Each structure stands twice: as C-alpha cells, then as structure tokens.
Homo-oligomer: A and B are copies of this chain.
Amino acid sequence: MKYDVIGLGNAIVDVLSQADDAFLIQEGLTKGSMALIDAGQATALYAKMGPGKEVSGGSVANSCAGVASLGGKAAYVGRVASDQLGEVFAHDIRAAGVTFAARPSGHADPPTARCLILITPDAQRTMSTYLGACVELTPDDIDPAEFAAAEVTYLEGYLWDPPKAKDAMLKAAQAAKVAGRRVALTLSDPFCVDRHRASFFELIDAHVDLLFANEEEAKSLTQSTNFEDAARLLQGRAKVVVITRSAQGSVILSGGEQIQVPAAPVAKVVDTTGAGDLFAAGYLFGYAHGRPATECARVGALAAAEVIGHFGARPEVPLTTLL
C-alpha cells in the first residue's frame, strides 16, 4: 500500500504563548477549548498576547507527523495560502516525512490559518483559531486515487467548520470506502461536536470504522452527563470507538466489549497541546498494520506522553525510539 494513513484537515500554524488564568478570563476564553475567531479578533488577541513561538500544527496534520515519526507512511491534504506561514507549514510537514501535495491558494489573503494557543501554568492549552485559507478547501482538493491508496483515511471533526470542507470530507470517505479501505474520524472538540451533532452522526453511520473522542467530546456527541452513559451510547456506533481520558488512559469500545488501557508515565507535563493528536497517531499506526486494539492504544499512549513533555504538538524525538 502506498500509505498507511492519509489525513484530511485544517492546515494550521500554531502560535504558542504562555499566559495566566487572569488573561483567559479577561479575554473571555474557555480554558482547554478551541474557539473560532475571525481575522479582526485574531489581530486583536495576538496584539495582547505575549511573545510567541510559531510551530506547524493542525490536529490531523500533527497525527500524520506522528505516524511518520513512528516509521509509517503518511500523507496529508489541507489548504494553505501562498504566504510565509504557508511555506512554514509545507516545509515542516514534509520535513516530518509526510507526503504533502500542497496546492497553496495562489494568493495571500485569506492567509494561512493560525491557532493562537495560550498555555497556562497548569499545562492546559486554550485555543483561538482563525481558519484563514482553510475555508478554501473544496472537493477539488480530493484526489480519490490517493485516498484509495491508503490503509486508513483519517478525518478531522474541525473540518465541519469551514463551509465547503464537509463535501471534501465526504468525497474522501467515499473514495476510501469504494476502494475497500477504512475510515477514521476524530471528533476534535466538544463545541465543534455541539455545532454539528446531526451531521457527525450521519458521517459516522455512513462511513466511519474507527472513531476517536475524548471524554468531553463523547459526552457532547451523546448529550450525556457522565462517561458511562456516553460509552454505552457510542458502543457499536462505529466498529471501534476509542475514548481518551487524559491521565486515566483510554477506553476501547469494540464488539460489545469495553477495554481499558492505561496512560504512559510522563516526568513533567509541560503543554498538553497535541496529546489527542499523537494518541491518534500511535493508534492509527497500529490499526493500519492490523495490530490488536490494546497494542494500538499502548502505542498511542506512548506517543501522547512524548508530546506533552514539551511545548508544541509534534514529536521532538523519532517516536520509533519509544517502541
């Protein structure tokens, strides 16, 4: 197979900065969540933020970088603008070993998307995303042959936000399914789930074999107030449902069973940005290679542990060294 995993997502450059809780309150930001902001809000928030570090991000892009770091064959599809941050994004994902057939927009406005990430002393990240060039993702960006050539197509829930991306996502999922491949989806964010609940269920029921959610996203999708109800309602909704629970590890729902896998130990949690993305990377790497679910989750836990030990959402050491 040409690829183990091909990802489709919002191509974003992260701007990481440290902030205290008072700043989040002052700016009306909800700790730990992702909020969409427009260009004006992005400019205003950036002006008030502390000094930043720019690093390539994007949830599924981070996962693809993780798959490559684990020694897997990964490809990524996402839209950037013809600007400096677009060049940074394209450079970094390729340098991470991921195939990225960039089709920059050909213009600098709207610019490459950025996610302003405020990291509080408790290592939580609070994200404000300006989608920029991501709104230009359309079904034309999907080459069905590429999706047919990957064991797993991995889709980002965040893609429901830009207007035409949903059609691109459906085209990708259909291309994968027609070729007999598997489709995975991450719910991305509880508020994103809340904005698009019905169509999430539609996509899951029609195409998704493997569903990733964290506890909050699982509760949001199922409109449950506790984990047990959410798990019960999601059991069987896709062939495999994996719910991540931070330090409590992950729970795999499959074939009517519920399997718990512990988190991997971390010396010091510095920045939780990318924890879910890298868990998914490890899981997908195993899944693409037909490994048992518990092994997939263990690789995911190791990859997540590496990324939360430093600033930024992509691995700093080759993840093959952790296996």
Q: Which residues of A contact B (CB under 8 A)?
A: 17-18, 46-47, 49-56, 65, 83-85, 88, 91-93, 95-96, 111, 312, 314, 316
Contact = CB atoms under 8 A, between A and B. Distances in A.
Contacts of A54: 53-55, 88
Contact of A52 (B46, B84, B85, B91): B91
Contacts of A96: 50-51
Contact of A111 (B51, B53, B84): B84
Nearest to A114: B84
A55 B93 CA distance: 18
A51 B47 contact: no
B51 A314 contact: yes
What copy number does this chain have within its complex? Answer: 2
A88 B50 CA distance: 11
Given A46-B91, A91-B47, A53 B312 contact: yes
Given A54-B55, A316-B18, A49 B88 contact: no
A88 B18 contact: no
A11 to B, nearest CB: 14
A281 to B, nearest CB: 15
7 contacts: A17-B95, A47-B91, A49-B91, A49-B95, A50-B96, A51-B314, A52-B91
B92 A52 contact: yes
Given A84-B84, A84-B85, A111-B84, A51 B56 contact: yes
Contacts of A53: 53-55, 312
Contact of A83 (B84, B312, B316): B84
Interface centre among A54, A93, A316 (most CB of B within 10 A): A54
A48 B41 CA distance: 36
A266 B91 CA distance: 33
B18 A52 contact: no
Contacts of A83: 83-84
A74 to B, nearest CB: 14
A111 B88 CA distance: 14
A51 B84 contact: no
Nearest to A55: B53
